[in-house]
Each structure stands twice: as C-alpha cells, then as structure tokens.
Amino acid sequence: MSELSTVKQGEFVTVARTDEIHEGSMVGVTVAGNQILLSKIGGKIYAMDAICSHSYGYLPKGSLKDHTVICPVHKAEYDIETGKVVKNVPALMKLAMHRGATDLRTYEVEAVGESIRIRV
C-alpha cells in the first residue's frame, strides 16, 4: 500500500483491503511517515506501531504468538491489542543499550466494505 502523506490527526484513513490481511499474519503499512503493523487474530484486525521501541526492529518481520508480537531483533514482546510491553529485553541488554522496550501506540480500526481504515 502506498504512503498516505496528507492526513489530519484524528481522522480515519484507508490503509489496506480486507483481503490483504490474513488470519495470523502481520503486514506493515506507512501512513503520514508512520510505520504501522496490521494483524488479524480471531477475525479481528488490530493496528499498532510497527517499530520496536527498544532497538527499532521492524515488527512485521518478527513473529506473532496468540496476541503477542515478538520483535525480530532482541525479542521484546508487545500485546497486539494494547501495545503494552509483555516481556522486555534481558536486563543486560537494557544496561548495554541504556534503555528497554516501552509501550507502543495502538490505533482504532474499522472495516468499511472491503477497506480497512485506522484512526491516525
């Protein structure tokens, strides 16, 4: 999906078609310069930031287990529904990099016809 660069904060924008997001998959889209992860679990579509807050790993390249997204870089884990850190990186990794993972933003999602829209 192409980047949407002129969107107003608080409005819904179309980011994908419903047939592009398959059950148990993770897809990355870009909206106004923000990388966003879309995923479908139990028939429901979720959206959250696609970049790990710890070491900037691209989460769509990670793995999805139940409702948890696992970063491909240092294995920080995030709840797909809330964006909250479920499991942080190891203490030595936090110490070495002077930071751990922090919660990510989630986005309200709606399906309108064949379109998936998120509120930015």
What sign has the CA pseudo-torsion 46, 47, 51, 54?
negative
Please state the pTM of the whole predicted model: 0.87
Tokens 């691209």, located at residue: 58
* pLDDT for residue 46: 97
CATH class of domain segment(s) 12-119? mainly beta
Domain ranges of the chain: 12-119
Q: What share of the chain is helix, strand, coil (3-state, %, to 5)?
A: 10, 45, 45
Q: Tell me if residue 61 falls in helix, strand or coil.
A: helix
* pLDDT for residue 2: 42
User: Could you report the average pLDDT of every consecutive run of 10 residues in the chain (120 residues)?
Assistant: 59 94 96 94 97 95 96 95 94 83 96 94
Beta-strand relationship, 44-49 and 63-65: unpaired
